Structure 1
Amino acid sequence: MSDTTSLSSQVKKLNLADASATASSSSSTQPSELVAVVDDLLNQLTTKFNTVSADILAKMDSMSQRLDALESQIQAGNAAAAADADSDDK
């Protein structure tokens, strides 16, 4: 939740900076502050995206391994059933 709070506070800063920029456009530090806030937001979003992407890939790998294991069990069960059917026929 702290990341969300941080993002919200930075967006509010952007809104306040935008409002104060229209009120007094003589300040020369506002563009650099805006750039810093936007850079920070982009870095946070990049970090979150990379984290979510890694989590999704890890879960997909886990699901793939589980599906492979399930497929092997099904094939082994089918082979055992076929062997039982062959032994019953003889």
Structure 2
Amino acid sequence: SATSDNASGELTAVVDELLGQLSTKFSTISSELISKMDDMSRRLDNLEATIQAGEGGKGDGSSK
């Protein structure tokens, strides 16, 4: 029974470590995705501003 308890404890430790690693990786990927989405949003805003400036006031600017 002591061997069974020890094996169970080792399994629990391994699973806890794996879950911790997965959580860290998920957080990292989530942060990277948010950063990339923010960057794309800024680039789209810049593109929109450039297009509107290039139109020279032809539109009324209410495209949003």
TM-score, structure 2 as length reference: 0.82
* Amino acid paired to 2:7: Q
- Identity within the alignment, %: 54
TM-score, structure 1 as length reference: 0.59
Pairwise CA distance, 1:79: 1.8
CA RMSD in angstroms, aligned pairs only: 1.1
From the CA coordinates, give the structure whose radius of gyration is larger.
1
* Amino acid paired to 1:41: L
Q: Which has the higher contact order (CA 8 A, sep 6+)?
A: 1
- State how 1:1-90 maps to structure 2 within 5 Å: 26=1, 27=3, 28-79=5-56, 82=58
1:24-62 C-alpha deviation (Å, 9 max, x unpaired): xx4120000000000000000000000000000000000
Structure 1: 4+ residue segments shifted above 6 A: none
Structure 2 gaps of 5+ residues are 59-64
**Number of aligned residues:** 56
